Amino acid sequence: MRRHFLAVAGAAGLLLAATGSPLRAYEYQQIFGQPLAGMEGRPRAVAPPRELVAYNGRYAPGTIIISTRERRLYYVLPGNQAVKYGIGVGRPGFEWSGARRVAMKRQWPSWTPPSQMLRRRPDLPRFMPGGPENPLGARAMYLGGSLYRIHGSNEPQTIGQAVSSGCIRMTNEDVVDLYDRVKVGTRVVVLR
């Protein structure tokens, strides 16, 4: 996978601005680090900045490619380019690979832990409404035929690590950027 991606930006990388619909005030505060009341001292993301990179692989523009080994997600653009994001991936025993499609998209999604997760972690709440404390973060893209999602996180310090139950975690800022680019039906290829 690495041989297909070459950074076109300088050493610091080329940050891309988030696009799409305007954010509500509390979303902006949560995503861009201006603390909400009671949120001071919350851990900040240590993920590398997203970058525009060269892409010469076999996947068509509009495809999401996830390299769990690299802990990077690539969104393929026209013109032999891709946007590269840092991600968190499944911990040992929860890794997976294959192809799926984005079946549904949600802003500030609610969260109902699956029964498999509740068996492992009976201390979890049975339901959490969407918002800054929700583990799915600011946006979620549900992968059809699975329990997995590409989603934001209320634990940005976990980006770059293998700690999830198989979902792909992103910073809230990055997941908003990707969400605005992706349509329902987008192909997602997960490589190990």
Rounded to 10 deg, the angle between the 172-181 and 25-32 helix axes is 120
The active-site residue out of 18, 64, 89, 167 is 167
- Distance, CA of 93 to CA of 166 (rounded, Å): 9
The active-site residue out of 67, 151, 159, 188 is 151
Distance of CA 85 to the CA centre of its chain: 8
Max intra-chain CA distance, the chain: 48
Q: Which residues contact 40 (CB under 8 A, 6 or more apart)?
A: none
- Distance, CA of 136 to CA of 169 (rounded, Å): 8
4 is catalytic: no
Give the active site residues: 151, 167
